[in-house]
Structure 1
Amino acid sequence: MDFRESITVNNRKTKLVVCSYIVIMIVIGLLADISIRPLSEVGLLHDMQLYITFAETPYITLGIFSLTLIGIFIISKFGHKLMLSGSTYRELVPDSTLSYEDRRVVNMVEEMAISANLGYTPKVFIMETEQMNAFAAGWSKNNALVAVTSGLLSKLTRSEVQAVIAHEVGHILHGDSKLTLYVGILANVILTITNVFTRVFFFSRSQNKSANKARMILLVLNFVLPIVTQVLYLYLSRTREYMADAASVRLTGDNQAMISALQKISGDYDVHENYKKDEQSYTEKYRAAAYIFSKGDSIFSTHPSIENRLKKLRGE
C-alpha cells in the first residue's frame, strides 16, 4: 500500500468537507439576507445571484463571516489549552533533569519531529492515568504538544510507543488540530445563525414570495443541518485518523508497530469499563475526539473502527 497516496486521497476528502461547510454557510447567509431584504419578485435564485455578485451588499452573509473569523481567532489563541484541562499531567522539559523513561519519551518525540521536518519539537506531556491513549494539539512552535498516558508507556514496547508518537506528530504535521477547531467554529456558527433566524421568522410572513421561500427553507434547515454538520465533522475526524496512521508508517517505516499498538490499546479499552464513564465530563469528551483510539463503528463516531484501521495499515 502507498501510504503517501493514502494521505493525498484523504486530503482531497478533507477539502471536500471544508468546502461543504463554506457553501452551507454562504447559503444560510443569503437566505437570511433575502428573508429580511428581498430584492425582486423574480424568484429566490435570482435574488441569490444579485447578492452573490454584490449587486446589493449581503450584510448578513458578511456579518456571519465576520463572526466566524472572530471565533477562529479566539480558538486559535486558546483552544489547544482545553486539551489538558481537567486532567492530571506533567510536562517533560528537555532542559531539566529527567528520568531514563521520561528522557526516552522526549527523545522519541524529537526523533519523529525531525523525521516529519516540523522545524521544532512539540511540548511533551505525560497524563497520569492507567488508560492507554495519546493525543496531539496545536500546529505551531507556540502551541503544539504531544501527550501520552502513563498507562500507555507502561504497557507498550518502545517501537509501539514510537509508532503512537509518530501518529500524533502526523496530526500536528497535517494541521489536524487547527482544522477540526476551525470546522467546529463553522458548524456552530451555521447552527446558531439558522436557529436564530428560524425563531425570528417563525411567526411572520412577507408580501414577497422569495422572502417567504427563504424563511421556509431556513425552517427546514434548522432541523436538517444539526445532523448534516455533525456527520460531516465526524467524517472529517475519521479521515484525519487514517491520515495520521499513514503518517506513522511513513515516519517510522514500520506498519507492524502501529498495528500492534492499536490492537493492545483496543484490547485494554474493552476490559476497562471506567474509561467509558470518564468520557462523561465536557473536557474529556473534547479530548476523546483527539485520542489515538476511541470506539468507532458508525457515521456518528469520531474514529474509524479498529477493524477498518487495521485493514488500511495492512494494505487490505
Structure 2
Amino acid sequence: MFKRVALFLATNLAVLVLLGAVMSILQGVFGIRLGNQGGLLVMAAVFGFGGSLISLLMSKWMAKRSTGAHVITQPRNEAEQWLLQTVQRQAQAAGVGMPEVAIYEAPEINAFATGANRNNALVAVSTGLLRAMSREEAEAVLAHEVSHVANGDMVTMALVQGVLNTFVIVLSRVVGRVIDGFLSGGRSEGGGIGYFVSVMVLDMIFGLFASMIAMWFSRHREFRADAGGAHLAGREKMIAALQRLGQNQGHSTLPSQVQAFGISGAVGHGLRRLFLTHPPLEERIQALRDAQPEPVG
C-alpha cells in the first residue's frame, strides 16, 4: 500500500514540477511577469486544467487498455447477460445513459467506473468479483459504480484537480517572487536562481497539500456513491458488498490511472490516511447504517 501511495504522490508531484518548469520557461519566452497577474493566471489555468481534462477525455480508452477489459457487446453467457440487464436497469433508475459494461481479468474483488460523460461511461468488474460475490452483492457494487456515473464524479475530480494544479502553479510563483526578492535584496525581477529554485521546491510542497485536498474529495465521493448504491440496490445489499470487499481490502491490481475509481482502495493509518482515495470500509459501512431511511412513496 505504501508503495502505491508513494507512487501516486511522486507522479502528481512530478507532473506539477514539470508544469512549473514549462511555466517558468514560457514566462521568460513570452515575457509574462508575475506583475501581470492576469497573464499568469491564464497560463496557469491552461497548464493546470490541460492535463486533467486530457486524462478525463482519454479515461475510458486508458482504462480498457490498461486493464485489458472485455466490453460486452453480445453476451456470451448468462452471467454477462445478467450484468448488462442489471446495469441497464440501474442506469435507467439513475437517469443516465447506458454505460459500456466490461469484465477484466483480476484475482481481487473490485470494480470501477470511468468516462468523461454521464451518458457515455464505462462500468467494469473483475473476474474475481464475479467468482467471490453473490448476485445480490454484485448488484450493489454495480449500483455503486452507476452512482459514480450519475454523480458525475469523474468530471468533478478532473475539475478539482485542475483547480488545485492552477492554484499550485500561481501560488508557487507568487511566493517564489517574494523569496527571490528577499534573497537578492530587491535587485532581482523574478528571474534569478533563487526564483527558479524556490518555485521548484514550492511546487512540490504545495503539490503535496493539493494532493491531500484531492484525496479528501475522493473519499467524500465514495460515501456518496455508497449511498447511491444503497438507494438503487438496497442498503443491506450495499453493506453486505462492502463487508465482502473486506476480504481483499488493500490488495488491488488496478493500474495507477484507474485505482482511484475502483470500489476497493488502499488502507492506511495516521498521516497515510490523508493520501488515501477511499475511506476505511468500516467507516463506509457505519455511514450506511447511520443513514436515515428514505421515505416510502
- TM, length-normalised to structure 2: 0.72
Paired residues in the alignment total 255
Consecutive unaligned residues of structure 2, counting only runs of 5 or more, are 1-22, 292-297
Tell me the equivalent position of 1:148: 125
Matched-pair contact (CA < 8 Å) for 1:89–1:126: yes
Tell me the equivalent position of 1:83: 63
- 1:267 matched to 2:252: no
Distance 2:209 2:130 in 1: 38
Tell me the equivalent position of 1:231: 212
Structural mapping, 1:177-256, within 5 Å: 177-191=154-168, 198=176, 205=184, 207=186, 221-222=202-203, 224-252=205-233, 254-256=234-236
The amino acid across from 1:207 in the alignment is G
Correspondence for 1:303 among 257, 266, 278 = 278
What displacement does 1:220 show? Answer: 7.5
Deviations 1:61-85 (A, max 9, x none): 1222233454455334323322222
What displacement does 1:175 show? Answer: 0.8
What displacement does 1:163 show? Answer: 0.6
What displacement does 1:227 show? Answer: 2.2
Q: Equivalent residue of 2:147, what SS?
A: helix
Q: Percent identity?
A: 25
Deviations 1:23-79 (A, max 9, x none): xxxxx99xx9xx9454xxxxxxxxxxxxxxxxx762111222233454455334323
- Structure 1 residues 257, 37: CA separation in 2 closer, same or farther (over 3 Å shift)? closer
Correspondence for 1:101 among 66, 72, 79 = 79
Structural mapping, 1:274-289, within 5 Å: 275=251, 278=253, 284-289=255-260
Matched-pair contact (CA < 8 Å) for 1:112–1:166: yes
- Structure 1 residues 285, 74: CA separation in 2 closer, same or farther (over 3 Å shift)? closer
Distance 2:283 2:52 in 1: 33
Q: Equivalent residue of 1:248, what SS?
A: helix
- Structure 1 residues 211, 260: CA separation in 2 closer, same or farther (over 3 Å shift)? same
Deviations 1:129-184 (A, max 9, x none): 22110000014266401000111112111111111000000000111111222333
The amino acid across from 2:58 in the alignment is F
The amino acid across from 2:76 in the alignment is L
The amino acid across from 1:63 in the alignment is M
Consecutive unaligned residues of structure 1, counting only runs of 5 or more, are 1-27, 39-55
Q: Equivalent residue of 1:136, what SS?
A: strand
- Structure 1 residues 64, 223: CA separation in 2 closer, same or farther (over 3 Å shift)? closer
Matched-pair contact (CA < 8 Å) for 1:294–1:302: yes
Distance 2:171 2:44 in 1: 11
The amino acid across from 1:85 in the alignment is R
- Structure 1 residues 202, 83: CA separation in 2 closer, same or farther (over 3 Å shift)? farther
Distance 2:257 2:281 in 1: 20
Matched-pair contact (CA < 8 Å) for 1:235–1:299: yes
- 1:315 matched to 2:287: no
- TM, length-normalised to structure 1: 0.69
Q: Equivalent residue of 1:86, what SS?
A: helix
Tell me the equivalent position of 2:7: none
Distance 1:57 1:132 in 2: 49
Tell me the equivalent position of 1:294: 265
Distance 2:212 2:277 in 1: 10
Q: Equivalent residue of 2:277, what SS?
A: coil
Q: Equivalent residue of 1:161, what SS?
A: helix
Tell me the equivalent position of 1:51: none
Tell me the equivalent position of 2:13: none
The amino acid across from 1:112 in the alignment is Q
Distance 1:73 1:154 in 2: 35
Distance 1:186 1:173 in 2: 22
Matched-pair contact (CA < 8 Å) for 1:245–1:313: yes
